[in-house]
Amino acid sequence: MTKHIKQALAIISLLLMISVFGCGSSANRATEPATTQTPDNTNQTDIATLVFNNGKIYTVNPQQEWAESIAIKGNEIIFVGSNSDVTPYINSSTSVIDLAGKMMMPGFHDVHMHPIESASENTHFSIDFDETNPENYIDIISKAAFENPDADWLIGYGHSIFTLLESARSPLAILDEAVPDRPVIIMEQTSHSMWVNSVALAMAGIDKNTPHPTGGRILKDEATGALNGILIDNAGNIVMDIAMAPTSESLQNDYDGLVNYTLPELAKHGITSISDARSFWQRDDHKTWLKAQAQDALTARVSVGLWAYPQADDEQQIEDLKALYTNDADSLLKFNQIKLYSDGIIINATSAMLAAYDIDLLGIPENKGLNYFSQQRIEKYLTALEPVGFDFHMHAIGDRGIREALNAVENAGSSQGRHRLTHVEIVDSADISRFAKLNVTADAQVAGNFTNPENWHENDELIGAIRADNAVPIKSLDAAGARVTLSSDWNVSSLNPFIGLQNAVTRAPQELTLTKAIQAYTINSAYVMRQEQKVGTIEAGKLADLIVLDRNLFAIDEHTINQTQVLMTVFDGEIIYQQ
């Protein structure tokens, strides 16, 4: 979409919105106290192009939490205050939208999501997560093979690893029966394991004597030692890299999914800034972002987390990552974050734990989980890449993985870094206070029901009731002074921020207040994207990334927050979505 077309659509949207909300009325004014925030010298150059008035405008600015009106000139907010005080900013050229008492707030940030992976049609089929008998997948997979005759690799998604681990027959034999003549790879729902057939194993050069790769396990039948087709964590990622080797068709699919699905969905849900939490640059993901930027198609501010490959040669990878770094202050797109995994996940028994798992899923005596990157390697990458300008976005779920990542920041980081640990599911009490001390952000995802307290004890069998009983301790982290952000991990969980908000405020004993939860989705996340001086709050001098809601979040039952809808999204001063 060209800039001129976007501007024309913005004008049309503006006219439609004025007809919906009304124009120039002073009815239904916000009841909250509204002070005025204005530039020092108001003159003809400060006439607004767009004014919103008569609203309940929640600014997330503690010096002026609520307002009635805001004035925007181009893409910049030039006034925040009362209906009466906005008048000098209006003339015959100003478009005025009456919010009619609706709530406005800053646009949401989602600083952990997978915007390319989750929308691309490079995955050919999905299978049912709730299916408990993998034999019932055969017809679905065979049908997908028939419908995609030209696909070199047949790629699927969706099962539970336990469906395979509890299978009466070898998962490898089942998949070989479904498709015996070309490679098949199916990503498990969490993305932390892959199910492959014999042709895929052969093409990847994996046999029963192949050593386990860094951060991964090649599973075998306990009785025979034969491969069973399950590749855990990085063992599966390595094969998926082969399956997803970039082609002109795959890159077009990635672009189409990003521009035609992901970006419109973000706008629909009021999300105006995101972090790509795992950009596979060896699959040319970065080129998809660059193309979207070149085509003027971006409708969000984007920080890309470049994936650190665990199996790579460190010196070469560090140089490759340095070459990809960009951080132009005026650009919507920045390649300024490194995404690496400290560990795996609990349900695969691969999250790094201080004490051994209670049961063995991986054939490792006294298993304490896996490391994609050891503490020593994280320190090496921090030392090399933080001075370039990179911030580190580190997956850390188990208490040992979290401690080692914190240790790495303490030993090798500097005061300049804005590093964060994401997921933070099982945090040892001794490490709670270290987040604030080290200025490490705790990035949590609570949109998924599995993180709710009623589901914590689903992991009792693996790590015991005591360790499982305090998952994702956002209240404890906040109380200890940590900066907390909330994000989705879409498509593992819904990208709808109102689901995350509701879960965050209702998950006692580890809940946040609504004020804190909104800060986590706005100004706190703006900080980790290094843009808190531009967005994240509604203040004069900041950029106009704004959303209008169909209800006041502070005036409704907290158990209905997830029903909230976005009526309008304004990005960089332009209306990019209206209901």
Q: What does 220-280 look like in DSSP terms, one character per residue?
A: E-TTT--EEEEEEEHHHHHHHHHHT---HHHHHHHHHHIIIIIHHHHHHTTEEEEEEEEE-
Q: In terms of DSSP bridges, do strands 227-233 and 193-196 run parallel, antiparallel, or are they unpaired?
A: antiparallel
Q: What pLDDT does 34 receive?
A: 46
Sign of CA dihedral 246, 252, 256, 258: positive
Q: Please give the Cα distance from 379 to 412 (Å, whole number).
A: 5
Q: What pLDDT does 428 receive?
A: 98
Contact indicator for 471, 462 with CB cutoff of 8 Å: no
Reference 192, options 227, 221, 235, 163; nearest CA is: 235
Q: What pLDDT does 504 receive?
A: 98
- Mean of all residue pLDDT scores within the chain: 92
User: What's the token pair of residue 549?
Assistant: 């809601």
Give Cα separations from 224 to 170, 227, 393 (angstroms).
11, 9, 40
Q: What pLDDT does 27 receive?
A: 30
- The per-residue pLDDT for range 504-559, each reduced to its tens digit, is 999 999 999 999 999 999 999 999 999 999 999 999 999 999 999 999 999 999 99
Other beta carbons less than 10 A from residue 248's beta carbon:
7
Other beta carbons less than 10 A from residue 68's beta carbon:
27
- Could you say which residues of the chain have pLDDT below 50? 1-20, 22-35, 39-42
Q: What pLDDT does 360 receive?
A: 84
The alpha carbon of residue 47 and the mean position of all alpha carbons in its chain are separated, in whole angstroms, by 38
Q: What pLDDT does 455 receive?
A: 94
Is the full-model pTM beyond 0.85? yes
Q: Tell me which DSSP letter residue 557 carries.
A: -
Q: What pLDDT does 37 receive?
A: 56
